[in-house]
Chain A
Amino acid sequence: MSPLWCYLTVSALLFCIGLAGALTRRNAIMVLIGIELMLNAANLNFIAFWRFSEHPETQTGLMFALFSIAIAAAEAAVGLALIITIYRHFKTANVDKVEDLKG
């Protein structure tokens, strides 16, 4: 089995890719995809730390990851619904164009 740092490196890479995507993309859907990537990087971390912990038989990390995925799915549904509504309202999915909430 690969050592822990391999997993953590993959997870960190995944997170950075996601963050970069979320920060640079103009399209709202792409931003959402970036966020999903970051979430999955976190999930990977959970699993990895659980697997290499002192009590891997307790299944806690697994449960945590499962919940996280479920919440991610719910969040994606909500996010997509928001994006569709924004698209209908502003006729664009470009987040830079949506700035009505300026202070």
Chain B
Amino acid sequence: MSWILKNLWLIPVLPLLAAGISALLKRPNRSLSAGLAIGALGTSFLLSLAAFAQTLGKHGAAARQVHNFDWFALGDTVVRLGWVLDPLTAAMVVMITFVGSLIFIFSVGYMSHDENFTRFFCFLSLFAAAMLGLIIANNLLLLFMCWELVGLASYLLIGFWFHKPSAAAAAKKAFITTRIGDVFFFLGIVWLYSETGTLLFYDAGRGCLEQDALAKMVAHSTIGGLAASSAIGLLLFAGAVGKSGQLPLHVWLPDAMEGPTPVSALIHAATMVAAGVFLVARVYPLMELQQAGVSQPIPLTAVTWIGALTAVFAAFVAVAQTDIKRILAYSTVSQLGYMFMGLGIGGVGVGMFHLLTHAFFKALLFLGSGSIIHGCHEEQDIRRMGGIRKFMPTTFATYAIGMMALSGVPLVFCGFWSKDEILNAAWLYQPSKIPFFLGLGGAFLTAFYMTRQMCFVFAGKYRGGHETAHDDHGHSHSHGDAHAHDPHESPAVMTLPLQILAACTVLLTLVSTPLWPWLPHYLNGESAHLDPGHLFNAGTLTLLLVSAVVVATGIGLGWWFYGLLPAEKPDEKDPLEQQFPEQFAWSRGKFFFDELYAATFVRWNARLGLLCNDLDRRVLDLLVSIVGWATNGCAHIAKLFDELVVNKLFDAGCTEVRRGAEAASELQGGQIHQYLRSIGVALILFVFILAVGCNK
């Protein structure tokens, strides 16, 4: 067993230590906390590289190494934990530690004015630790624990500026919404345990993802003819839906943008929200089990459809948003939908491939938006930006690369290839062609809304800082010094991570084209070869052309609507709104999911709460009061009995005892002779009795 496999636990534990130490520091020490967090995650990155190197050159089952150990024994049951090192783990830990380190460095600049700087880094480290633990876990229980920990860290970081009511509400919303999915997830875990008797994924043939357990689960038929494996798969997927913000539990993710932007980049774009996708990929052997009499694996069908619907739905909503981060949030939801679709129809390699590329360019986009927000004095409304290109050239260049990768501009951007891989798989998907067209529609919308955002933010002239700017965001603008409020480029500590991420976005392309599809094959545990023939395969080429045309149409339409005549004033009507007022209203209103939930679940819940309150006050309180009164009455009776009967008797008894004792104490004369005399008399009496007795 290799050194790195035995010590894989160090990867999550180092950031955990950093979090613990900076939490225990007596007084906040900015440079120490930041240094600890970045140093720990950097070291984890190096360890991850070692782990990654360990998995290279191995294929199939040989690429998976596990290390299990006993945690504790409860009677005869031994609870075992462990970690697993396979291409999935290795790729994820490298991505998380690398992107995470860059985001930590970015945060040093972004949060420099915040007074709770050390708390921020403590929470970030805690998050990184939990996320890495989630990735390496070889036990569903351990995975679930880390899953809840990342949820907690997400809650803490969304609510980082808890003095803002909207941030506090968003934190609660995120926590409670994901909790709904987690309940199902937990049910799935319990069911899985009762079916297989273990929660270890891989355990030399005894794990719950290995042949014996899978065969047992697929044979066990439950309610409605659904095999246990399918039911458990659906339950686990429900957990993933909550965490990854899929329909219908997506509502928390856009609101989560209330947190600091580095948090949005790390947690709500690159890593935590991808945990749901990762979960499905991790339990893929369970998901793809095909029960008798059904042509497709039921869980995977659900994954595909939810993913496809979410992809196009969220992209449609993103079109009409005006908050720079909310656009990106809906884009994240949409891209997560793509990942699920990729998992459902193409397998682990396809879905995880998009997850990895997406992590890079979405982190880039979020950090870029952070840089813009920082430069524009905490302004987030794209209608009050414009012309930023002149002020922030580095941010513009890197943001453009991220935007092109997200939109899927052909050839040199990894986003194009990973999205193409998904569309390719969707085209070959037998049961239905609808996911393919949904995906294509999503790709078109993505290109469109990203172009719209680019035009609003970077083209035209700067619309913020004018007299028309509303003063509702806390800055007081005085006339005449508008130039002092012009946007400014961010410091190097923020632009450097942007440049590195942009470089990665392009460089990742080298290992992801169909010419040499090393990354997707590596994730599947297969080897990849240079294959020029595959690229010029007729089907592949057609699809490439189709998606390129779709993307070009999206970008062209976006440019036509927003780029030709850039908005002049912040409160101008959106050009799209003039053309399609009805559709635009639906998109702007996010399909009124929040209102729907507020009118149904939230209101029902509130009613139930009021009902419970009434029940509590009117019925239960009354019962409690009756019991109280009854007890009080009994107590009074007991008191009277005590005073009148027991006390009297006791006093009488005491008097008698005292009188007897007084009489007895007369015998205690203190005179030794008296005692001796008594003894002598007693002796004589005894002798006399003895003598009389013996003579009888």
Residues of chain A having any CB pair with chain B under 8 Å: 19, 22-23, 31, 95-96, 98-103
Contact = CB atoms under 8 A, between A and B. Distances in A.
Contacts of A23: 673, 676-677, 680
A19 B682 CA distance: 13
Interface in B636-687: 664-673, 676-677, 680, 683
B673 A102 contact: no
Contact of B672 (A19, A95, A103): A95
A96 B676 CA distance: 12
Nearest to B677: A23
Nearest to A28: B672
B676 A99 contact: no
Give the top 8 A-B pairs by smallest Cβ distance, nearest first.
Answer: A103-B668, A103-B665, A99-B670, A102-B670, A101-B670, A95-B672, A23-B676, A99-B671
Contacts of B667: 103
Interface of B: 664-673, 676-677, 680, 683
A77 to B, nearest CB: 19
Given A103-B665, A103-B666, A22 B671 contact: no
Contacts of B673: 23, 95-96
A98 B666 CA distance: 17
Given A23-B676, A23-B677, A96 B671 contact: yes
B678 to A, nearest CB: 11
A103 B666 CA distance: 6
Contacts of B671: 95-96, 99
Nearest to B664: A103
A100 B670 contact: yes
Contacts of A22: 676
25 contacts: A19-B680, A19-B683, A22-B676, A23-B676, A23-B677, A23-B680, A31-B672, A31-B676, A95-B672, A95-B673, A98-B670, A98-B672, A99-B669, A99-B670, A99-B671, A100-B670, A101-B668, A101-B670, A102-B668, A102-B670, A103-B664, A103-B667, A103-B668, A103-B669, A103-B670
Contacts of A96: 671, 673
Contacts of B672: 31, 95, 98
Describe B's contact surface by its main secondary structure: helix
Contacts of A95: 671-673
B590 to A, nearest CB: 97
A103 B683 CA distance: 24
A23 B665 CA distance: 22
Contacts of A103: 664-670
B377 to A, nearest CB: 97
A19 B676 CA distance: 9
Nearest to A31: B672
Contacts of B665: 103
A95 B675 CA distance: 12
A19 B664 CA distance: 26
Contacts of B680: 19, 23
Contacts of A99: 669-671
Contacts of B668: 101-103
Contacts of B664: 103
A52 to B, nearest CB: 18
A31 B677 CA distance: 12
Contacts of A98: 670, 672
B36 to A, nearest CB: 76
A100 B668 CA distance: 10
A31 B683 CA distance: 17
Nearest to B684: A19
- The residue among B669, B670, B672 with the most chain A CB atoms within 10 A of its own CB is B672
Contacts of A100: 670
A85 to B, nearest CB: 15
A23 B672 CA distance: 9
A99 B671 CA distance: 6
A2 B666 CA distance: 49
A70 B672 CA distance: 25
B447 to A, nearest CB: 111
A9 B680 CA distance: 19
Nearest to A26: B673
Nearest to A20: B680
- The residue among A31, A95, A99, A103 with the most chain B CB atoms within 10 A of its own CB is A103
A82 to B, nearest CB: 11
B359 to A, nearest CB: 94
A32 to B, nearest CB: 11
A8 to B, nearest CB: 13
A96 B666 CA distance: 17
Nearest to B667: A103
A103 B664 CA distance: 8
Nearest to A101: B670
Nearest to A19: B680
A23 B683 CA distance: 13
Given A96-B673, A103-B668, 18 more contacts: A19-B680, A22-B676, A23-B676, A23-B680, A31-B676, A95-B671, A96-B671, A98-B670, A98-B672, A99-B669, A99-B670, A100-B670, A101-B670, A102-B669, A102-B670, A103-B664, A103-B667, A103-B670
A100 B671 CA distance: 9
A101 B674 CA distance: 13
B117 to A, nearest CB: 80
A98 B672 CA distance: 8
A22 B673 CA distance: 8
Nearest to A25: B673
